[in-house]
Amino acid sequence: MDIDKLRRQIKHNCDVSDARFWGFYSICGMLMRIRQLYMHEHALMPWDTVSNELILPWISEQEAKWDRMEDEQFGNIQIDGVQFTPFDVEGVNARLNPHGILYGAGLGLHHKPTFFLGRLLNISTINNCTVYITGEEFVRDLFASPAMLQGSSIYVRLRPLYSILYEKFAELQGRKPNPILADAFRGLGLDPKAPVTDDFPARFTALAADVSKILIAHEAAEYVEDAAANTWIEILDGSKSRFVEIYIRAMKDLLADTSQAGPLRHIIDTQDKAMLAFYVALLDNARIELFPEITPAYEEFSATGNWQSIEYARGTAYARAKKFRQDTLSLWKTDPDTDIIETHIKSFLKNIKDAL
């Protein structure tokens, strides 16, 4: 199989997607993503040094290329003389998986088409889902989620996870490090204040493999929990509002996180302190806003060692997320209007704040 030819075909689609969507990101978000893309294309790991003298001209070249490609179309993928559409993931992988390669395609944040090709490391099953884990990546676009669910397939990408975790690790070198984040890394044997040793890459990648279990549990729980998947997708597809998309996604994530099948319940059942710290430390801003109980619950747990505070927070958040889903789907069924959903979300957020 000609991997380089396959890579070029997928790279074209990655470039077309980036050309159409790179302006959707904030300045900070864009800088982070383009730095990660540079490191990928130059076979660098997150902890490697990047020279501004090298990356700045490369960024200019990327922007010029995106300007040229903005109106180009996605191309089909040809493997051994057979044509596949860019989103025919099952068809492409039927050809690639026996060779130890995994292809991924889907829609990311802001409905951005996203594609990747990586080295398939492992296949397993959980909750009737098939889990595919990739290591080295041959090609990717600006958007690189470390985990995603498609149907009953879960794709876990270790390289993007390395980038996210190392950025968090680097934050601990600042003046006011996040104590929960520090607990997380120390809990898995990586002290941010300790001198860097030659075995750092091996220790860091082992840590990432442990953290990936949270991602797998989350995606598997989303598969189990989201009985109304088609309606959720309909709302996301029908929305032109970034606000609606962000909070619908965040609430879907929270519903999975706090469900009986979710990662937080598993962490409580196994009393895994390190994974609890990572779960809390890795929450995005929207989920923190929707789950305000978790930080004080973690602080109480740190002081007392009582897991009941975490369980109470989990149950409270799950009940809230379940009600939000019920109310949102009911509103959409009555009147599929994004403006109504946005008003509903803002009211829901206000109620959470007022209850604190």
Give the Cα separation of 347 and 356 in Å (integer): 15
> What does the domain layout of the chain look like in residue ranges?
3-157, 212-355
Give the Cα separation of 85 and 67 in Å (integer): 24
Q: What tens-digit pLDDT sequence spans the chain (356 residues)?
A: 788 999 999 999 999 999 999 888 888 888 889 999 999 999 999 999 888 889 999 999 999 999 999 899 999 999 999 999 999 999 999 999 999 999 999 988 888 999 999 999 999 999 889 999 999 999 999 999 999 998 899 999 999 999 999 999 998 887 788 899 999 999 998 988 777 788 999 999 999 999 999 999 999 999 988 765 667 777 877 777 889 999 999 999 999 999 999 999 999 999 999 999 999 999 999 999 999 999 999 999 999 999 999 999 999 999 999 999 899 989 998 988 889 999 999 999 999 988 87
Q: What angle do CA 13, 18, 22 make, to 5 degrees?
A: 170
Give the Cα separation of 304 and 324 in Å (integer): 32
Count CB neighbours of 320 within 10 A. 21
Residue 166: which of 185, 143, 186, 147 has the closest Cα?
Answer: 185
Here the contacts of 75-78 (C-beta below 8 Å, separation 24 or greater) are: 75/9, 75/12, 75/13, 77/6, 77/9, 77/10, 77/103, 78/9
SS3 210: helix
Residue 292: which of 301, 282, 302, 283 has the closest Cα?
Answer: 283
Count CB neighbours of 43 within 10 A. 8
**Angle, helix 263-270 to helix 273-281, in steps of 10 degrees:** 150
Cβ contact 17:110 at 8 Å = no
Q: What is the pLDDT of residue 229?
A: 62
Kindly report the pTM of this predicted structure: 0.92
Tokens of 260: 């009986």
Give the Cα separation of 188 and 205 in Å (integer): 11
Spatial neighbors of 299 by CB under 8 A, at least 6 apart, are: none
Measure the N-to-C terminal CA separation of the chain; round to a whole number of Å: 58
Cβ contact 21:110 at 8 Å = yes
